[in-house]
Amino acid sequence: MMHVVLPAIIVGMRAHGEHGAVVRMMTEDQGLVAAYVRGARGRRLGPVLVPGNAVQASLSSRSEAQLPQASVELTHSRGPLLGEPLPAAAIAWACALTATALPEGQAYPRLHAALEGLLAAIEAAPAASRWGTSLVRFEMLLLAEMGFGLDLSECAVTGAESELVAVSPRSGKAVSAAAAAPYKEKLLPLPPFLADGSGQAEWEDILSGLQLSGHFLERDLLVERAAAILPARERLIDRLRGAAGLA
């Protein structure tokens, strides 16, 4: 008999049976974990098993090959944010991406920390201008952890480490301003906050960052069945553009 208790972030839920569900949770030590929760769609647990919520999960199974059963206790609710369209869309997307892109049972402590940080930033300041860069960095980190990281350290053409302004959509390598000039329309923009590691960014740069990470997510990671979650990202981008006055 296997039994483990660990803190987790709810990232997804799929109905199973009359009242239960298979719940996906992101944990620091075990990565993405799936478990069956009895009564998951009931009045008591429904508000608990909301993507973005933090819980204490108690998992048990007869063997490692068996889907564990879990009981969960809420430790922190982000439910109030679900009434705000933009934060709700961001939480839904970040959680859906985590639940879809990661293999189960493999620890990704950096991703776990990044997801926690992103959710905390959204909660602290629902205005996307405050957490937009964190969302881009989370997507970029996920790409890197899955083996599809971009090389933004130097220009792919000249080797220069400064004035990096674009990224090749094929190689995922940075390009300097001088080398990019003749091919500007064929390259993806590299916003300054990704090139130099700065903090806050203007709306245009946040949207450029999401365009950059989105290209490689769609090309390399969210393919075939996994592409089904992309409309959630499109809804988020539409709301971000609306908040920026660019809709």
Q: Which residue has the tokens 């201008």?
A: 129
Nearest to 152 by CA among 217, 212, 221, 222: 212
**pLDDT (0 to 100) of residue 77:** 97
**pLDDT (0 to 100) of residue 126:** 67
Predicted confidence (pLDDT) per residue in 57-81, tens digit: 999 988 777 899 999 999 999 999 9
* Domain spanning 2-77: CATH superfamily: Nucleic acid-binding proteins (2.40.50.140)
**pLDDT (0 to 100) of residue 1:** 60
CA distances from 196 to 24, 66, 144, 175, 219 (A): 35, 46, 18, 14, 25
**pLDDT (0 to 100) of residue 30:** 94
Predicted confidence (pLDDT) per residue in 100-109, tens digit: 999 999 999 9
Predicted confidence (pLDDT) per residue in 204-242, tens digit: 999 999 999 999 999 999 999 999 999 999 999 999 999
pLDDT beneath 50, residues of the chain: none
| Paired tokens of 187 | 């390259």
Give the other-Cβ count within 10 Å of 116's Cβ: 15
Strands (E), the chain: 2-16, 20-27, 31-37, 54-61, 69-76, 164-167, 174-176, 188-189
**pLDDT (0 to 100) of residue 247:** 66
Give the other-Cβ count within 10 Å of 224's Cβ: 6
**pLDDT (0 to 100) of residue 147:** 97
Report the C-alpha gap between 186 and 205 in whole angstroms: 18
Q: What is the pTM of this model?
A: 0.94
Q: Give the β-pairing of 2-16 and 20-27.
A: antiparallel
| Residue ranges of domains in the chain | 2-77, 81-152+190-243
